[in-house]
Structure 1
Amino acid sequence: MIKKAFNFFLFAFFPLFLQGQDYKFHHFTTVEGLPHNEVRKIAKDSTGFFWFGTQNGLSRYDGYKFKTYKHSSGDENTIAGDKIISLAASANHLWVGTLSGLSAIDTKTYKVKPLPKVTQKIGSAAIWMLFVDSNNNTWLSTEKGNYIIDNESLEIKEVLPEYNLACIGKGLKSILWIGTDKGMLKYDLNLRSVLNKYEMGSFSVFSLDDIYSDSDGATWATLNNNIFRYQPERDRFLNVYTSGSLNTISQFKESILFGSYGNGLVEYNKSTGEFATLRADPTDQFSISSNDIYQVFADNDNYVWVGTQEGLDYYDFSRHRFKSLRHLPGNSNSLRNNFVQSIYQDEENVFWIGTRSGIDRVLFYKGYIDSKVEHFVLEGAIFEELNNAYVTDIHKDTTEKMWFATLDEGLFSYDLKTNLLRRFVPNENDGLSIPSISVRSIMEDAKGRLWLGTGEGISLIHKNESTVSFENFQFPESEKDSTIIGDVFSIFQDSKKRIWVGHNNGGVGLLQEKNGEHSFKRFRHDSSNPKSLSNDAVFVIFEDSKQRIWFGTSENGLNLLMEPNGLEKDPLFFKRYTEADGLSDNEVNGLLEDKTGNLWIATNKGLSKFNVLEETFTNYVTYDGVSKGKFRKNACWKTKDGMLFFGGTSGINYFDPDNLEDSLMAPSPVFTSLSIDGNEIEVGEEMDNTVVLSQPLRKGAEIRLSGDENRFDLAFSALSYTSPLRNQYAYKLEGHDEEWKYVTGENPHVSYAKLTPGSYRFYLKTSNNYGVWSKEPIHLDFIVKASFYNSKLVKVGVFVLLAIAAFLAILVYLKTRKNKRLIKSGIKPRKKVVKTVDPEMDQENKNLVGRLNEEMQKNHMYLDPNLNLGQLAEKLDISANHLSMLLNDYVEKNFYDFINYYRVEEVKRRLANSSYDNQTILSIGVDCGFNSKSAFNRIFKNITGKTPSQYKNEVSRN
Structure 2
Amino acid sequence: MVEKSIIPAVSTTPIPTSKKYTYLLVKILTCTLSLISALTVYGNDESVVWRDFPELYSQEVIDIAKDTSGCLWLGTANGLGRYDGYSLELFKTGRDCRVLSLDIDSDQNIWFGTMQGAYVLKPDSNKSVPVDSSRIHWKQVPNIHATPDGNIWIVQRGYLRRYDKNGNWKRDYAITDRSGNPTTLSGFCYSREKEIFITTFSPIVYKYNPEKDSFFPIANLGIDTALGKIIEDFREKYFWIADHTGNIYRFNPDAGQGTQFITSKVVSPDEPGRTISVHDMAQDITNGNIWVAGRTCLVLFTKDSEGHLVPAYHKMNPALKGTLVESIKASDEGIWMSTFGYKTMLLPYKHNTVNHTLFGFDENQTREPLITSIQEDSTPGYYWVVQNRHGLILYNSKTGAVQNHTLLTNESLRLHVASEVIPSQKHNGIWVLLERSMNAHRLENDNGQIRFCQTINPGAQVPSEATATTAFEDNTGNLWIGSTDGAYRYNPTNGNMNAAAAPGCYITDIVQGNDNDIWLSTRSRGLIQITPEGKTISHTKMTHGIIALAAAPNGWLWYASDNGKVIGFNHLTGEIEDLSESLPLNGAEISDIAADQFGHIWIKTPRTLTEYNPRNQEYRTHDVSHIKTPVEVFLSKFTHGENGTLVIGGIGGAEVFHPSNSLDRQNSRIQVSLTDITSAGKELLPGSRTVKSSDNEIQLQASLRNINISFSTLNYKHVSKVRYAYRMYPYEQQWNYTREGENKAFYNQIPHGKYQFQIRATDENGVMSDSCSTFLFNFKPAFYQTWWAYLIYA
User: TM-score, structure 2 length as denominator?
Assistant: 0.71
In 1, the alpha carbon distance for the partners of 2:529 and 2:152 equals 75
The 5 Å alignment of 1:831-850 reads none
Q: Structure 2: which amino acid aligns with 1:717?
A: F
In 1, the alpha carbon distance for the partners of 2:624 and 2:693 equals 31
Which of 27, 47, 51 is residue 23 of structure 1 equivalent to?
Answer: 47
**Structure 2 residue aligned with 1:103:** 119
In 1, the alpha carbon distance for the partners of 2:451 and 2:750 equals 81
What is the CA distance between 1:508 and its match in structure 2? 3.6
In 2, the alpha carbon distance for the partners of 1:335 and 1:659 equals 37
Q: Structure 2: which amino acid aligns with 1:577?
A: D
Structure 1 residues 246 and 399: alpha-carbon distance in aligned structure 2, compared to 1, 3 A threshold: farther
Render the CA deviation track for 1:139-172: whole Å, top value 9, x for unaligned.
3332122234333664443347345421335655
Bigger mean CA deviation after superposition, 252-261 or 314-323? 314-323
What is the CA distance between 1:253 and its match in structure 2? 6.1
The 5 Å alignment of 1:642-657 reads 644-649=646-651, 651-655=654-658, 657=660
**Structure 2 residue aligned with 1:414:** 443
Which of 492, 496, 511 is residue 471 of structure 1 equivalent to?
Answer: 496
Q: Structure 2: which amino acid aligns with 1:275?
A: Y
Q: Structure 1: which amino acid aligns with 2:84?
A: D
**Structure 1 residue aligned with 2:69:** 47
Structure 1 residues 350 and 299: alpha-carbon distance in aligned structure 2, compared to 1, 3 A threshold: farther
Which of 268, 279, 303 is residue 242 of structure 1 equivalent to?
Answer: 268
Q: Structure 1: which amino acid aligns with 2:324?
A: D
CA contact 2:141–2:155 (8 Å) conserved in 1: yes
In 2, the alpha carbon distance for the partners of 1:262 and 1:320 equals 21
Q: Structure 1: which amino acid aligns with 2:657?
A: Y
Structure 1 residues 267 and 289: alpha-carbon distance in aligned structure 2, compared to 1, 3 A threshold: closer
CA contact 1:582–1:617 (8 Å) conserved in 2: no
CA contact 2:602–2:612 (8 Å) conserved in 1: yes
Q: Structure 1: which amino acid aligns with 2:768?
A: G
* Higher-Rg member (1/2): 1
The 5 Å alignment of 1:703-742 reads 715-718=709-712, 720-721=714-715, 722-723=718-719, 726-728=722-724, 730=726, 732=728, 737=731
**Structure 1 residue aligned with 2:186:** 166
Unaligned segments of structure 2, at least 5 residues: 1-38, 178-183, 270-275, 305-309
The 5 Å alignment of 1:927-946 reads none
**Structure 1 residue aligned with 2:576:** 575
| Helix, strand or coil at the partner of 2:369 | coil
In 1, the alpha carbon distance for the partners of 2:41 and 2:636 equals 35
**Structure 2 residue aligned with 1:91:** 106
In 1, the alpha carbon distance for the partners of 2:353 and 2:666 equals 12
Q: Structure 1: which amino acid aligns with 2:432?
A: F
Structure 1 residues 301 and 638: alpha-carbon distance in aligned structure 2, compared to 1, 3 A threshold: farther
CA contact 2:671–2:773 (8 Å) conserved in 1: no
Asked if residue 146 in structure 1 is aligned to residue 160 in structure 2, the reply is: yes
The 5 Å alignment of 1:251-330 reads 251=284, 256=289, 258=291, 260=293, 265-266=298-299, 274-276=312-314, 291-297=323-329, 299-301=331-333, 304=336, 306-313=338-345, 330=362
What is the CA distance between 1:541 and its match in structure 2? 3.2
Which of 221, 230, 242 is residue 250 of structure 2 equivalent to?
Answer: 230
CA contact 1:183–1:200 (8 Å) conserved in 2: yes
CA contact 2:646–2:659 (8 Å) conserved in 1: yes
CA contact 1:43–1:52 (8 Å) conserved in 2: yes
**Structure 1 residue aligned with 2:432:** 404
In 2, the alpha carbon distance for the partners of 1:777 and 1:784 equals 22
In 1, the alpha carbon distance for the partners of 2:80 and 2:758 equals 29
Which of 410, 413, 423 is residue 395 of structure 1 equivalent to?
Answer: 423
What is the CA distance between 1:96 and its match in structure 2? 0.9
| Helix, strand or coil at the partner of 2:134 | helix
Asked if residue 377 in structure 1 is aligned to residue 404 in structure 2, the reply is: yes
CA contact 1:554–1:589 (8 Å) conserved in 2: no
Q: Structure 2: which amino acid aligns with 1:165?
A: L
| Helix, strand or coil at the partner of 2:668 | coil
CA contact 2:670–2:771 (8 Å) conserved in 1: yes
| Helix, strand or coil at the partner of 1:295 | strand
In 2, the alpha carbon distance for the partners of 1:270 and 1:489 equals 56
What is the CA distance between 1:652 and its match in structure 2? 0.9
Structure 1 residues 782 and 698: alpha-carbon distance in aligned structure 2, compared to 1, 3 A threshold: farther
In 1, the alpha carbon distance for the partners of 2:528 and 2:201 equals 80
Render the CA deviation track for 1:370-414: whole Å, top value 9, x for unaligned.
x66444325549678877555522435656444433445853443
Asked if residue 637 in structure 1 is aligned to residue 666 in structure 2, the reply is: no
**Structure 2 residue aligned with 1:779:** 776
Structure 1 residues 749 and 699: alpha-carbon distance in aligned structure 2, compared to 1, 3 A threshold: farther
The 5 Å alignment of 1:433-452 reads 439=468, 441-452=470-481
CA contact 1:490–1:502 (8 Å) conserved in 2: yes
**Structure 2 residue aligned with 1:498:** 517
Structure 1 residues 110 and 440: alpha-carbon distance in aligned structure 2, compared to 1, 3 A threshold: same
Which of 609, 612, 623 is residue 610 of structure 1 equivalent to?
Answer: 612
What is the CA distance between 1:104 and its match in structure 2? 1.4
Render the CA deviation track for 1:8-28: whole Å, top value 9, x for unaligned.
xxxxxxx99999975254442
| Helix, strand or coil at the partner of 2:106 | coil
Number of residue-to-residue matches in the alignment: 708
CA contact 1:484–1:509 (8 Å) conserved in 2: no
Which of 510, 515, 523 is residue 529 of structure 2 equivalent to?
Answer: 510
| Helix, strand or coil at the partner of 1:562 | coil
In 1, the alpha carbon distance for the partners of 2:734 and 2:552 equals 42
CA contact 2:443–2:450 (8 Å) conserved in 1: yes
Which has the higher relative contact order, 1 or 2, with Cα contacts under 8 A spaced 6 or more apart?
2
Asked if residue 767 in structure 1 is aligned to residue 781 in structure 2, the reply is: no
Structure 1 residues 307 and 88: alpha-carbon distance in aligned structure 2, compared to 1, 3 A threshold: farther
**Structure 2 residue aligned with 1:68:** 90
CA contact 1:167–1:180 (8 Å) conserved in 2: yes
Percent of residue pairs identical: 13
Structure 1 residues 346 and 426: alpha-carbon distance in aligned structure 2, compared to 1, 3 A threshold: closer
CA contact 1:323–1:654 (8 Å) conserved in 2: no
| Helix, strand or coil at the partner of 1:473 | strand
CA contact 1:17–1:276 (8 Å) conserved in 2: no
Which structure's residues are more often strand, by fraction?
A: 2
The 5 Å alignment of 1:516-555 reads 518-521=534-537, 523-527=539-543, 535-544=544-553, 546-555=554-563
Asked if residue 557 in structure 1 is aligned to residue 566 in structure 2, the reply is: yes
CA contact 1:261–1:294 (8 Å) conserved in 2: no
What is the CA distance between 1:95 and its match in structure 2? 1.5
In 1, the alpha carbon distance for the partners of 2:526 and 2:245 equals 66
CA contact 2:631–2:649 (8 Å) conserved in 1: no
Q: Structure 2: which amino acid aligns with 1:499?
A: I
CA contact 2:369–2:387 (8 Å) conserved in 1: yes
The 5 Å alignment of 1:181-192 reads 181-183=201-203, 185=205, 187=207
**Structure 1 residue aligned with 2:180:** none
Q: Structure 2: which amino acid aligns with 1:95?
A: W
User: TM-score, structure 1 length as denominator?
Assistant: 0.60
Q: Structure 2: which amino acid aligns with 1:292?
A: L
**Structure 2 residue aligned with 1:826:** none
**Structure 2 residue aligned with 1:129:** 143
| Helix, strand or coil at the partner of 1:122 | coil
